[in-house]
A and B are shown apart, each in its own frame.
Chain A
């Protein structure tokens, strides 16, 4: 089996006529973990949303391929069934739909009629993953994200990640709002997935998460594109010195995507 891959070239994305991503490129392969860092408002969530197919974001130029296929030709659900996953910074709440029903429907979405996950298999797996993530069993029967605390929503995103086992995952600030114990637990869950069949883009503001999930590459985003890439030591340096030295080095005054 060939390794999964997500390849993005010169991506431009607008929201409400305003260009946010301005020539973003990256190549993520199975077995690799990429950390994407960068100050607020530099387009990180925009990138994640556009790749998943969020209806509010318009791809104006550039390309993205997922395992060789044109990502932007696929509907949101097709992207997901092909193996792309986005843990959202602000996941929606859906009243009246239990977490367990939802996750089971999602697991069965890319399976044929006679290949559906049985209730027993499902229960065994969700019990195990909830154990790993130290999520209380009662969350299976709660309505999807409804009334979940910030940290509980994040954990629930990771629960879905572990249940669905995608090929490439984008995790948008999965660490913000997590207490230190939860951070370790979530990192452990993600590390369980590490293999040549799984690639990951971790959007984060903090070095802390990267202490638990060692990245292979660290990229810094400013003004809607990657302005600097390096190894784990780059994250370390950002933690210690902030972003100013990069701005100076590159002669950037306003790092956001501008008005």
Chain B
């Protein structure tokens, strides 16, 4: 039996929402078609986590947020992430999908770089958006949540870096969420041949915690020789149920995509991160850290799928489980027939801090080609009492000793993150979440 989901938005409401945003017809049509599918398709089935009873449909569709465009209008939490006004480089901030502040350096604009919100992008860069939006990386037909996403999209960013353009300074996006709003946030990044960029995003909650939904999809398209570094710190509150799907479509020869994901939500979360390595000699690297606490249930599935020859995919995931948190860490390295000389490696490690915490690490290698190399390692364990004794024998309190061990456990991932500001933010979040 299939359970049909009912989303709290009718076709008419969606139509007028789209018109209100002045969207091109193709986009409106796509929304309406997707809304129909959202009610018919099934939920995704993350391995080893049952999500049938999770709240994906109960949320409000009213952003209840005024658009602003000045730095002074930003909340303290957002300002902490972006720094002083004078230091703001390339930034987009939104609250409940409504743009609050945006800035792009003139020299980047002059080179043809686009960094804007999705609402603007569909109007001003319609052709580009149409060419990539939910095409190769993600399809709205996959399941009910991708369909709902395509239908109800109400926030997000679009980034386009033309051929040969190297963007030095990071592009930063901050997506704040408040109240019972259902956030359907889409990030679309297109890096043309031999371009280079670093993108950093933050998801955070403001105000009190009403039951709400975040349905997040990111797509990254990486052309020949292009290098994209994608950093994220997800930090949504415990009343928000999150579906987040970040996909990379690495079609370029020798293209490189680095993911650095700090998955620090406090609510139930299903996260999928998939990198398709099509380009010959392309490289995909995923580093993830997460901390579970309270009673939250999370599922983190990371896929690297090798199609091209000489492709290299690396997965490294470390998670700490506190209290009664449950997390499943699935890692899948898939090497398709014909991807000769591909190399796929993965490591998943889980550290549990309490008797009630549950963690499971499942490394999976699926290989349809002989001439490849692959390897995996996984562990689920608790803090070693002898390490505790050693550290405490030097005067560290139990809490401080645990703190060092946890930081040490996460360090191989956090310390290796290719983006310094993500590293710093993560150290802060880890500090707050663990104590």
Contacts and interface: CB of A to CB of B under 8 A. Distances in A.
Contacts of B392: 53, 75-77, 80
B390 interface: yes
B384 interface: yes
A110 interface: yes
B398 A77 contact: yes
Contacts of B398: 75, 77
B394 interface: yes
A94 interface: yes
A52 B393 contact: yes
Contacts of A88: 390, 393
Interface string B360-399: 0000000000000000000000001111111111111110
A79 B389 CA distance: 12
A54 interface: yes
Interface string A95-133: 111000111011001100000000000000000000000
Contacts of A94: 387, 390-391, 404-405, 408
Contacts, number: 85
Main secondary structure of the interface of B (DSSP, over half): helix
A168 to B, nearest CB: 13
Interface string A170-192: 00000000000000000000000
B408 A164 contact: no
A143 interface: yes
A140 interface: no
B407 A96 contact: yes
A169 to B, nearest CB: 11
Given A88-B390, A102-B391, A96 B412 contact: yes
A164 B395 contact: yes
A38 to B, nearest CB: 23
A81 interface: yes
A20 to B, nearest CB: 17
A92 interface: yes
Contact of A97 (B386, B388, B389, B407): B407
**B: contact size bracket:** 20 to 34
A160 B394 contact: yes
Nearest to A81: B395
A109 B396 contact: yes
A68 interface: no
Nearest to B405: A94
A148 to B, nearest CB: 13
A91 interface: yes
Interface in B159-202: none
Contact of A96 (B386, B389, B409): B409
A3 B386 CA distance: 31
B408 A96 contact: yes
A251 interface: no
B408 A80 contact: no
Contacts of A80: 392-396
B391 to A, nearest CB: 7
A92 B384 CA distance: 10
A35 to B, nearest CB: 22
B411 interface: yes
A102 B409 CA distance: 14
B91 interface: no
A92 B394 contact: no
A106 B394 contact: yes
B124 interface: no
Interface centre among A80, A85, A94 (most CB of B within 10 A): A94
A226 to B, nearest CB: 24
B420 interface: no
B111 to A, nearest CB: 39
Contact of A92 (B387, B395, B397): B387
B315 interface: no
Contacts of A109: 394-397, 400
B410 interface: yes
Contacts of B407: 96-97
Given A91-B390, A94-B387, A96-B412, A106 B395 contact: yes
A92 B404 contact: no
Interface string A55-98: 10000000000000000000111011100011010011111110
A95 B394 contact: no
A161 to B, nearest CB: 10
A86 B393 contact: yes
B162 to A, nearest CB: 40
B34 to A, nearest CB: 44
Contacts of B412: 95-96
Contacts of A164: 394-395
Contact of B396 (A52, A91, A106, A143): A106
A53 B391 CA distance: 12
A103 B181 CA distance: 47
Contacts of B410: 96
Interface of B: 384-398, 400-401, 404-405, 407-412, 415
Interchain residue pairs A-B with the least CB separation, the first 6: A96-B408, A96-B411, A109-B395, A80-B395, A106-B394, A97-B408
28 contacts: A53-B389, A53-B392, A55-B385, A75-B392, A77-B393, A79-B393, A80-B394, A81-B395, A85-B394, A88-B390, A91-B390, A92-B390, A94-B404, A94-B405, A94-B408, A95-B409, A96-B410, A96-B411, A96-B415, A97-B407, A101-B404, A105-B400, A105-B404, A106-B391, A106-B395, A109-B394, A109-B395, A160-B394
Given A92-B384, A93-B387, A143-B408, 9 more contacts: A54-B389, A76-B389, A76-B392, A80-B393, A80-B395, A86-B393, A95-B409, A102-B404, A106-B394
